[in-house]
A and B are shown apart, each in its own frame.
Chain A
Amino acid sequence: MKMRFRLVSVSAPIIALTISFGLSSLILLIIGKDPYETFKIMFEYGIRGKSIVSIINRSIPLYISAIAVAVGFKMGLFNIGVEGQYLMGSLVAAYIGAQFSIITPLHILFIIIVAVATSSLWAAIAGYLKVEKGIHEVISTIMLNYIGTGLIAYSLTTIFDEPNSNYDLPRTKELPETGKMPPLNKFFNIEDLQDLHGFLVIAVLVGIFYYWLVWKTTLGFDLRITGSNPIAAKFSGINPNKLVVIAMITSGGFAGLVGLGPLLSYFHRYTIDFPTGLGFAGIGVALLGRNHPFGMAVGALLFAFLQRSAQILDLNDVPKEIEQMMQAFILLIVVVFYEVIRRFIVKQQVKDASKRSDE
């Protein structure tokens, strides 16, 4: 019986994907492009070896960001501040990590700890404000994003700027070799392609840890029952205030890891072109993946695939904005179908239960 429900659940994203391909085709037709040709070019470009490495590298921060958001979602807490949290964490970690050199595993572990601590601390502010002052976390995290961006802009040009640099724009000192994450190309025998980010390993571990935390621990249980029914949760002895702070700090901790893929494997320093927007993109991936570790992995890969494969479109005279529209279509439609499916499953269970009672 469980298997049957699982199959039904998977059908929602597949339906959403099909419909959004249909809608995107319609738009392509309206602007006079051949949808079949367009998707064929995208697909062929997207499955090249180079593209696949790029897709995986792109999906790493997207995935971790989705997990950071999902931890909050699970208890009905909307951490919109992953964006500011990961940028703050990345900057501080990039700066402190560049000050010394120890053996690689320890150096990287240290950088990770600094980033996680900074981001959780930044997220904890929103938790504190909600519990002590009753300020809704959506408001406070959005404001903290702005404050964080301002703080980063200021401190990058003053405190954290590389001393005696002949580079025009502000940036932190480069990480020493021991602070760089080695690529994984050797393990997959793809040394002819660009670097496959070593942070992939961490992302997989994070996914497993998230699953364990939310579905296997009592803390996760508390999070989930608070998300489904806050009143029953309170009657079961959960202290909602304490849980809000814990969830916010945990969410911020995951957020701290978002920027580390690009930092440790590619940029090796915080510069003004350090990737932004990953925190917001994570909200969409969490929604698409329904806060499930596997679902979000598929979601992150799908969005990374669309982003990468759309790059070929400009060369073929198709506006690549079609890709952003597709992402939006998918999200909108999938939300609708998840609800349809949920109602179907509940109905089925009520039927099964009443059959049992008639016996």
Chain B
Amino acid sequence: MKLAINIKNITKTYPGVLANSDVSIKVKSGDIHAIVGENGAGKSTLMKILYGMVKPDSGNIEIFENKANMSSPKDSINLGIGMVHQHFMLAKNLTVLENIILGIDRPFLKNIKLSKYKTEIQKVMELYSLNIDLNQYVDELSVGEKQRVEIIKVLYRGAKILILDEPTAVLVPQEVKDLFKNLKDLKNNGVTVLFISHKLDEVLEIADEISVMRSGQMIDTVLNDNVSKTQLAEMMIGKSLPTPPARLTSTDEEVILKVENLKSNDENGRTIFEDVSFEVHKSEILGIAGVEGNGQKEVVEAIIGIQALDSGKVIFKNNDLEKQGTRERLESGISFIPEDRQLQAMIMEMDLTNNVIIGRQNIKKYKSSLGTVKMKNAVNESEKVISAFEVKTPGTSTLATALSGGNQQKFVVGRELEDDPSLLIASQPTRGIDIGAQALIWEKLRNSRDEGLSVLLISADLEELIGLSDRIIVFYQGKLVKEIEAENITPEDLGSYMTGLKK
């Protein structure tokens, strides 16, 4: 059978991150091929390379069995590749028709022949049974319809390979159904679809073949018929990393954090999470399991006051935090390690001395009575963090961007543990870093826990979650579906709860 895409040994590194490591994948022409993997697994980088937005460090790409050399999306479009981004690229104050032809016709002081385009586009729509009113303004369309416009747009440009980046993330269930019907029609008309997702149910429903990526590597490509959801979940999450040792001390009875009936909707009224209640005890690590996008990230952001709540209570050491902003919450003894260190935790173009202050800029250690920053203390603290967490750096005046990913992460974890917080919220604390740094962070987290720290741990790495946690709660579709003692569970079982297989 003819191959639509043949990617061979692609490697791409960014400073501090190995995004794609020797990735190869074959996509058969006329297939719906899914690529699954957690966030940060390298799916997006691979798609950007395929679409000509990013140049790989090494490796080859063949499109329809011809060697391809893309240096811009334009080259890819000419080769018949079209991409529908997760965030739509539409001009909302133009009509559907205008959006579709945008950038095709380059008239200079002459009329655009709208009627000509209209008939051409209608032909494309008929061929693939895609329906939409071409005269409607994009502003008036539903999310699913906007996506359809994007699909028509790339098909009209002659795409024979359609890349869909997390297409269902923004859709409601009915719209997902419509999309899948459309995709099947496309397939029947010979279009190859590359479907990026981390929702295993959907992937199993629609895809012919499934490729699994994990931490920058292609794990395997399997036929849909030969694989179960559990097997996919295992491949996606992996079990090859070193296992953290079991705990020695026992959990305290005292409740540090208590959340009651948390509920939040996004601006389109879709529920992000609801009915979320749990407690974290002193000297306990509570793990949160869940496939990306099931509301767990937003719940922890609500606890530190970044995600707005529609209802529910967050009680920290018997104080209701409702009236407190993020700053007050952080100062009252909650530390936070966000999932993206470069985007959320550090200022990349500032040095480590300045970075140690971030999140603490108003506490006495760093703020004098005059309102000035106590730089000397910051230098001391950053030196302390560097030596305690074995951060490899020339010194405290090195820019954060100059460090490797593992060293950046060690610095962030060290900073957050420095002031003896009562509660640490750690979101993906060891994602995308080397095994040495990972082992060090695990050790530090365990030691702090044994000394009385409460930790709320979110991790996509189930071995890490089971090995570190005392108790685990599982999120599925915005709800807390299961609570389990960590010692009584295997990654396989946990995977089944996370994917809704077991209840």
The answer on A and B forming one complex is: yes
Known contacts A235-B345, A239-B327: does B361 contact A221 (CB below 8 Å)? Answer: yes
Task: Find out whether the CB atom of A218 lies under 8 angstroms from the CB atom of B359.
Answer: no
Task: Find out whether the CB atom of A350 lies under 8 angstroms from the CB atom of B371.
Answer: no
Task: Find out whether the CB atom of A232 lies under 8 angstroms from the CB atom of B347.
Answer: yes
A18 proximal to B (CB < 8 A): no
In the complex, what residue of chain B is closest to A356 when comparing beta carbons?
B394
In the complex, what residue of chain B is closest to A353 when comparing beta carbons?
B402
Tell me, in angstroms, the Cα distance from A237 to B366 when the chains sit together. Answer: 15
Task: Find out whether the CB atom of B343 lies under 8 angstroms from the CB atom of A236.
Answer: no
Which chain A positions have C-beta within 8 A of B349? 228, 346
A231 proximal to B (CB < 8 A): yes
Tell me the minimal C-beta distance from B365 to chain A in angstroms. 12
Known contacts A231-B344, A235-B345: does B392 contact A356 (CB below 8 Å)? Answer: yes
Tell me, in angstroms, the Cα distance from A224 to B361 when the chains sit together. Answer: 12
Task: Find out whether the CB atom of A349 lies under 8 angstroms from the CB atom of B398.
Answer: yes
- Name the interface residues of A228-263: CB closer than 8 Å to any CB of B: 228-229, 231-232, 234-239
B176 proximal to A (CB < 8 A): no
Task: Find out whether the CB atom of A228 lies under 8 angstroms from the CB atom of B347.
Answer: yes
Task: Find out whether the CB atom of B361 lies under 8 angstroms from the CB atom of A218.
Answer: yes
- Name the interface residues of B318-372: CB closer than 8 Å to any CB of A: 325-331, 336, 338, 343-350, 354, 357-359, 361-362, 366-367, 370-372
A1 proximal to B (CB < 8 A): yes
B68 proximal to A (CB < 8 A): no
Which chain A positions have C-beta within 8 A of B366? 218
Question: Which of B331, B348, B359 lies at the interface centre, i.e. has the most chain A CB atoms within 10 A of its CB?
Answer: B359
Interface size on B, as a range, is 35 or more
Task: Find out whether the CB atom of B393 lies under 8 angstroms from the CB atom of A231.
Answer: no
A222 proximal to B (CB < 8 A): yes
Known contacts A225-B347, A229-B343, A353-B393: does B372 contact A237 (CB below 8 Å)? Answer: no
Tell me, in angstroms, the Cα distance from A354 to B404 when the chains sit together. Answer: 8
Contact for B330 among A216, A219, A237, CB less than 8 A:
A237
Task: Find out whether the CB atom of B402 lies under 8 angstroms from the CB atom of A350.
Answer: yes
Tell me the minimal C-beta distance from B347 to chain A in angstroms. 5
Tell me the minimal C-beta distance from A137 to chain B in angstroms. 22
Contact for A218 among B304, B331, B338, B367, CB less than 8 A:
B367
In the complex, what residue of chain B is closest to A216 when comparing beta carbons?
B372
Task: Find out whether the CB atom of A235 lies under 8 angstroms from the CB atom of B371.
Answer: no
B403 proximal to A (CB < 8 A): yes
Which chain A positions have C-beta within 8 A of B404? 353-354, 357
Contact for A217 among B306, B372, B393, CB less than 8 A:
B372
Which chain B positions have C-beta within 8 A of A218? 361-362, 366-367, 371-373
Tell me the minimal C-beta distance from B334 to chain A in angstroms. 10
Which chain A positions have C-beta within 8 A of B327? 236-239
Task: Find out whether the CB atom of A225 lies under 8 angstroms from the CB atom of B15.
Answer: no
A37 proximal to B (CB < 8 A): no
Tell me the minimal C-beta distance from B342 to chain A in angstroms. 9
Task: Find out whether the CB atom of B348 lies under 8 angstroms from the CB atom of A229.
Answer: yes
Which chain B positions have C-beta within 8 A of A355? 394
Contact for B373 among A217, A237, A238, A350, CB less than 8 A:
A217
B397 proximal to A (CB < 8 A): yes
In the complex, what residue of chain A is closest to B341 when comparing beta carbons?
A232
Which chain A positions have C-beta within 8 A of B372? 212, 216-218
In the complex, what residue of chain A is closest to B330 when comparing beta carbons?
A237
Tell me the minimal C-beta distance from B10 to chain A in angstroms. 23
Which chain A positions have C-beta within 8 A of B346? 229, 232
Task: Find out whether the CB atom of B350 lies under 8 angstroms from the CB atom of A228.
Answer: yes
Task: Find out whether the CB atom of A235 lies under 8 angstroms from the CB atom of B344.
Answer: yes
Tell me the minimal C-beta distance from A250 to chain B in angstroms. 13
Task: Find out whether the CB atom of B15 lies under 8 angstroms from the CB atom of A232.
Answer: no
0/1 interface trace, chain A 105-124, chain B, CB 8 Å (1 if under)? 00000000000000000000
B308 proximal to A (CB < 8 A): no
Known contacts A225-B358, A229-B343, A235-B326: does B401 contact A357 (CB below 8 Å)? Answer: no
B399 proximal to A (CB < 8 A): yes
Tell me the minimal C-beta distance from A351 to chain B in angstroms. 8
In the complex, what residue of chain A is closest to B337 when comparing beta carbons?
A235
B99 proximal to A (CB < 8 A): no
A2 proximal to B (CB < 8 A): yes
* Chain A residues with a Cβ under 8 A of chain B: 1-2, 212, 216-222, 224-225, 228-229, 231-232, 234-239, 346, 349-350, 352-357
Give 16 new A-B contacts, CB below 8 A, not counting A217-B373, A236-B327. A216-B372, A217-B370, A220-B373, A222-B361, A225-B350, A225-B354, A229-B347, A232-B358, A235-B344, A235-B345, A236-B326, A237-B329, A239-B326, A346-B349, A349-B401, A355-B394
* Chain B residues with a Cβ under 8 A of chain A: 15, 304, 306, 325-331, 336, 338, 343-350, 354, 357-359, 361-362, 366-367, 370-373, 392-394, 397-399, 401-404, 407
Nearest 10 pairs of A and B residues by beta carbon = A237-B327, A353-B402, A349-B402, A236-B359, A237-B326, A357-B392, A350-B402, A216-B372, A356-B394, A236-B358
